[in-house]
Structure formats: structure tokens, C-alpha cells
Amino acid sequence: MLIFFKERLAFLSVPKTGTTAYETALAPRADMVISEPPMLKHAPVYRYNRFIRPMFLKVCEVELELMAVMREPVSWLGSWYRYRQRPFMAGKPNSTDGISFDDFVRGYMKGQRPGFADVGSQLKFLESQPNGVGVTHLFRYEDQPRLQAFLQARLGVTPELARENVSPKMPLDLSPEVETRFRRKFADDFALYDSIPG
């Protein structure tokens, strides 16, 4: 998570949306960088609202706007699947080694997700809170020009991004039957993604 105090902006770090590269590029420009531990680096809206927002509200009497990036839902799961294929993950309970992408997505759709498919939820991460706190500026991972234009206008910088934390390249085959089930079960995720201006 990056905080730009003068610009009244917090950049939330949704996992698997390229935010580590933005963190590296923008850290020198940020007033606060939360890069560890992961549960704070990747604090969703509800955790920001509970722990980080009160600090600025009570001490500084300032309300920050929130920005975040969302990835197309199938692509987001594909990135997690590929990320958990890395050789050093072999033998660990959350490894996807030897598991097909279809089985990974099937596992994700279960009520009790197996370890290899327990990767959270973009929808839950971005969910607005009952007190009205929510993401003010939401961008598609696939629309980097719009995201960079916003950062240029808001912060006065165009970040020079390096590829970081990248999942291994490999073909991903999702059967039409599994994709149809996934799109139906997670229709709200797709609706949120489709609502982002492009």
C-alpha cells in the first residue's frame, strides 16, 4: 500500500494486479509505504477502514481517497495458478503443480476451498464498507494507459515500471463448461470489472 498524504490518496495493493511494480516505482514519491507484512501490504478496503483510515482521520483530520486495480477475473485466477506453479512451491499445500487449470478453478468455486485454490477475492477486497468508505478510483489491470494517466495527473509522475513478482508463462486452458459455471457463480465479480470505465 502506498500513501500520498499531500494528494490525499491511498493506493491499495490488490494481489496479482501488478502493484508490486508500482510500489517499487512510486515508493520514493510516496509519504508512506507499507510493504510488509503481507496482510498490511495487501490490506483490503475493510482492513484499511478499520486500522489505517482512523490514523489519518483522528490524528490529521484527513480523509484519503482510495485507488485500486482490478484484473479480469479469469486472468486473475490464471495469474494465481501460474504463480503457484513455481518450482520452489512443489510439495507445498498451496502448490498447483500437477493440477489442471480446470481443477484449480473448480477448487476456487468450492465453499471450502482447498489450499491450492485459496487465493481470496477481488470483490471482497474492493467491497465498500457500511460507513461509505470504498474505492474512489478503480482501474482495470488491462488498461495501464488509463492508470498511468491518472497517476501522472494526480502525482505529477509517470512511473517507470519493471516486471516484478511475475508468474511463469504457460498456456491456460479453461474448458467452456467450467468457465460458464465460474462466470455464473461469480457474476458480481464480472459485473464490477465490467463497470470500470475503459
- Tens-digit pLDDT profile for residues 38-70: 999 999 999 999 999 999 999 999 999 999 999
Q: CATH code at 125?
A: 3.40.50.300
pLDDT single digits (tens) 94-136: 999 999 999 999 999 999 999 999 999 999 999 999 999 999 9
Helix/strand/coil percent split, the chain, to 5: 45, 10, 45
Q: What is the pTM of this model?
A: 0.94
Sign of CA dihedral 31, 32, 35, 39: negative
pLDDT over 80 at 168, yes or no? no
Instruction: Render 120-173 in DSSP notation, one character per residue.
Output: --HHHHHPPPTTS---SEEEETT-HHHHHHHHHHHHS--------SPPPP----
Number of structural domains the chain divides into: 1
**What range does the domain containing 74 cover?**
2-195
